[in-house]
Structure formats: structure tokens, C-alpha cells
């Protein structure tokens, strides 16, 4: 019984509201406007994109000599220091090559010393006219040839020693091992492409996001802009960064052109891992403590106004009547925009649009009519 009484009271209230609205809008020839109250706030304009978390400095460690991987001293996630031993290649063939080249160098030195003495002796005899020009030139030729051969063998032994050093693989940086590409006993062949043994990251506390921005948005993106991003691994966390580089080289896939940007991403707690997908928001413009209004307010003009709104006029509700005020329009986020002007202040009521009788009744019923004002 009480519930029926409540429903009856609600129905009577709604009918009374409709009668009041109808009376205001119809009998008195008044108009209903939807409005907002001017307040100071913040507004941002942003661009969204997706990218991948990557280390700032990532190094692939390879080998310049072919052979069998003899020993490995690092594995996945191993922390390494610059110069630390990572792996050793089998040295048997390299040591044999060095010994062979050393023997050839010794032979070249013996030959050079002999030809040098022979040339000096032939030169003295030729100066005294005791040997022919042909014999002298032959001795000179043999000497020059032995000298060149000695220099060649010295180069060969330097190369053999360097190849033996290449059999010892050390870390070029301080960092952590991201991946190990070989196993002990595996044969690697160094050709045109250097075989990769390890992938190292220098510092996982400083990461970066490599993101692709559509060509339609790249014009408003610049270095230094604030960035926030999320990753699926930590959906409740929002990470901060900034644009450190906007690359000029375009990337075209399926006739869609994008440009890569680099976002600095501090990672002190090591939550961000290489390869994670990041959904980024780039704040291309931001203003705080400014007056903002809905953009549709700059399109409103009363029916009796002879000209449409030029986009720089707000209609304020003053003394129950629309009153125009000229403003300067700033940035917008697609919904709201910044406005400035001597004729506006906090608390002013700005008209955004007309409200029809049916819409007014519906909003009365829903209880969302708080911003509606009845005016002349």
C-alpha cells in the first residue's frame, strides 16, 4: 500500500513538473537553454600510438672467427661487466695457424738476411766493375722481393695472433644478457654476416619506447613533450616519459605511412621488460588554470540573432536573457576549448544549446535537468 502511494506521489510530481515546464515554455513564450558554468581548469590535446619497450643500448656480441664453441660463461639474465669473459671458441686450428705463420716468418727473415748481404756484396763489386749490370740487378731484385715477403709474413702473424684473441669472447659493455644464441659444442661459421652469440642490454633501469605515429598526427609531435603509457602486464600502472626523438625516416606498410618516435621510459623498479607493447599518449599541448567551455557553446546563436556564431562569441545568460561576449579561443581537446576575454569570469552561465520541450520533460524525468535555464 505504501509503495502504491509513493508511485502515485511520483506520478503527480512528474505531471506537475510537466505542467510547470509547459507553462513556462508555452504559455509565457519562454525558452529553455542548456548551460554550463564557467570554471577554471586544465585542458590537454593528445595523440595516441602504440610501440614496443626496448633497452636504450642493446648490443649483439658475435665472433669474427669460425669454429666450435668450446665453453660458455654466461647465460640468460646474467649480469656482466665490460671485459668479462663470455665464451671461448676452440683454439686448436687457430694455434696451428699461428705456429705455421710463425715458421714462415722465421724463414722469411733468414731469406731476407741472406739477400741483404748478397745485395750489399754485389753492389760493391758492381761499383768496382767486377760484375755485370745484369748480375747486380738480379741481386737487387732478390733483395727487394725478400723484403716484401718479410713484411707480408709480419702482417700474417699479426692477423693470426688477432684471430687467436678473437677466440676469447668478452663483454663490450656493463649490462645484462638478454639472450644466448648458441650452445657449447655448436659450430659457428663467420662469413659475410657475423654469427650472434649473445644479446646484451646496457642498463634496464633506463628503457625506451619505439612507437609509430600516423602521418596525420606527426606534425604536432615534437621532442620534449610529456608522454604517459600503459602496458598489458601492469594494467593498473601508468608510466611517465618524454619524447626524445622524432625520426624523419617514414615507414610505409600497406599504403599506411607512419613515423617512429623514441620515448624515454625510466624503469627504476624494473617492471618494464624488453618487448612489452606500450599504449602511449603524447600530450602535444597542455594548459592549466584556464577558463574552458564546451566547443558547442561557440556554435550557439539565438534564433533572433541576425548572424550565425563566428566561433569567437559566447552567449551568457544575464537577466534571464542571452547576452553575447567576444572571446579569444585557445587550444581544444575535441570537446572543450580554452577561452579568454575581459567579459567573462568564473561563475558566468554560458548557453550551449536550445532544449526542446520533449527533451526538457525527459531530462526532468531522469533528474538531469540541473543545467537547464529558462530564459526570455
Q: Read off the CATH number of the domain in which 103 is found.
A: 1.10.287
Q: What burial class does residue 153 get, using C-beta atoms within 10 Å of its C-beta: 0-12 exposed, 13-18 middle, 19+ buried? A: buried
Range of the domain at 281: 47-57+202-287
pLDDT at 308: 86
Please check whether residue 98 lies inside any domain of the structure.
yes
Render pLDDT for 96-145 as a digit per residue (tens, 0 to 9).
999 999 999 999 999 999 999 999 999 999 999 899 999 999 999 999 99
Q: What is the pLDDT of residues 302-357, one digit of tens each?
A: 888 778 888 899 999 888 888 999 999 999 988 999 999 999 999 999 999 888 77
- Give the number of domains in the chain: 4
Question: With contact defined as beta carbons under 8 Å apart, do 11 and 365 qualify?
Answer: no
Please check whether residue 347 lies inside any domain of the structure: yes
Same structural domain for residues 237 and 141?
Answer: no
Is the pLDDT confidence value at 301 over 60? yes
Does residue 2 lie within any of the structural domains? no
Query: What is the domain-level CATH number for residue 231?
Result: 2.40.30.170
Q: Which of 158, 175, 152 is nearest to 59 (CA)?
A: 175
Kindly report whether the global pTM for this prediction surpasses the value 0.75.
no
Q: Is 336 exposed, middle or buried (0-12, 13-18, 19+ CB in 10 A)?
A: middle
The pLDDT of residue 76 is 95
Does one domain contain both 215 and 119? no
Q: Same domain, yes or no, for 195 and 64?
A: yes
Q: What is the DSSP letter of 301?
A: -
Same-domain status, 222 and 326: no
The answer on 258 and 356 residing in a single domain is no
Instruction: Please check whether residues 197 and 248 belong to one and the same domain.
Output: no
302 belongs to a structural domain: yes
Question: Side by side, which strands form the sheet with 85-89?
Answer: 168-170, 85-89, 67-72, 187-188
- Any domain includes 14: no
Q: What CATH number has the domain bearing residue 297?
A: 2.40.420.20
How high is the pLDDT of residue 109?
A: 96
Q: Are residues 217 and 191 in the same domain?
A: no
Under the banding of pLDDT at 50, 70 and 90, the label for residue 219 is very high
- Report if residue 162 sits inside a domain: yes
The partner residues of 242 in beta bridges, in order of sequence, read 226, 264
Choosing from 222, 255, 287, the residue where a domain stops is 287
Residue 336 lies in a domain: yes
Are 312 and 362 in a shared domain?
Answer: yes
> Torsions phi, psi of 181, nearest 5?
-95, -5
Amino acid at each position: 500500500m505504501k509503495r502504491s502511494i509513493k508511485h502515485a506521489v511520483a506520478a503527480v510530481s512528474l505531471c506537475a513538473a510537466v505542467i510547470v515546464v509547459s507553462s513556462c515554455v508555452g504559455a509565457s513564450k519562454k525558452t529553455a537553454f542548456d548551460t554550463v558554468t564557467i570554471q577554471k581548469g586544465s585542458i590537454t590535446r593528445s595523440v595516441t600510438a602504440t610501440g614496443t619497450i626496448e633497452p636504450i643500448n642493446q648490443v649483439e656480441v658475435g665472433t669474427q672467427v669460425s669454429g666450435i664453441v668450446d665453453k660458455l660463461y654466461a647465460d640468460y639474465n646474467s649480469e656482466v661487466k665490460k671485459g668479462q669473459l663470455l665464451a671461448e671458441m676452440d683454439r686448436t686450428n687457430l694455434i696451428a695457424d699461428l705456429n705455421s705463420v710463425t715458421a714462415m716468418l722465421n724463414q722469411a727473415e733468414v731469406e731476407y738476411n741472406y739477400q741483404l748481404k748478397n745485395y750489399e756484396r754485389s753492389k760493391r763489386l758492381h761499383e768496382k766493375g767486377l760484375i755485370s749490370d745484369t748480375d747486380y740487378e738480379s741481386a737487387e731484385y732478390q733483395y727487394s722481393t725478400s723484403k716484401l715477403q718479410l713484411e707480408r709474413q709480419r702482417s700474417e702473424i699479426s692477423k693470426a695472433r688477432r684471430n687467436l684473441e678473437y677466440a676469447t669472447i668478452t663483454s663490450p659493455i656493463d649490462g645484462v644478457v638478454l639472450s644466448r644464441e648458441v650452445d657449447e659444442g655448436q659450430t659457428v661459421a663467420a662469413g659475410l654476416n657475423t654469427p650472434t652469440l649473445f644479446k646484451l642490454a646496457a642498463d634496464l633501469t633506463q628503457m625506451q619506447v619505439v612507437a609509430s605515429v600516423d602521418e596525420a598526427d606527426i606534425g604536432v609531435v615534437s621532442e620534449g613533450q610529456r608522454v604517459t603509457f600503459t602496458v598489458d602486464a601492469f594494467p593498473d600502472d601508468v608510466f611517465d616519459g618524454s619524447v626524445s626523438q622524432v625520426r624523419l625516416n617514414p615507414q610505409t606498410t600497406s599504403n599506411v605511412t607512419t613515423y617512429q618516435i623514441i620515448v624515454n621510459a625510466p624503469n627504476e623498479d624494473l617492471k618494464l621488460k624488453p618487448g612489452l607493447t606500450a599504449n602511449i599518449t603524447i600530450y602535444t599541448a597542455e594548459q592549466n588554470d584556464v577558463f574552458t567551455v564546451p566547443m558547442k557553446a561557440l556554435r550557439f546563436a539565438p534564433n533572433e540573432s541576425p548572424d550565425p556564431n563566428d566561433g569567437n562569441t559566447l552567449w551568457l545568460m544575464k537577466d534571464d536573457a542571452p547576452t553575447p561576449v567576444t572571446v579569444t579561443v585557445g587550444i581544444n581537446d575535441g570537446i572543450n576549448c580554452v577561452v579568454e576575454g575581459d567579459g567573462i569570469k568564473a561563475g558566468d552561465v554560458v548557453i550551449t544549446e536550445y532544449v526542446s520541450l520533449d527533451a526538457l520533460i525527459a531530462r526532468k524525468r531522469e533528474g538531469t535537468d540541473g543545467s537547464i535555464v529558462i530564459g526570455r
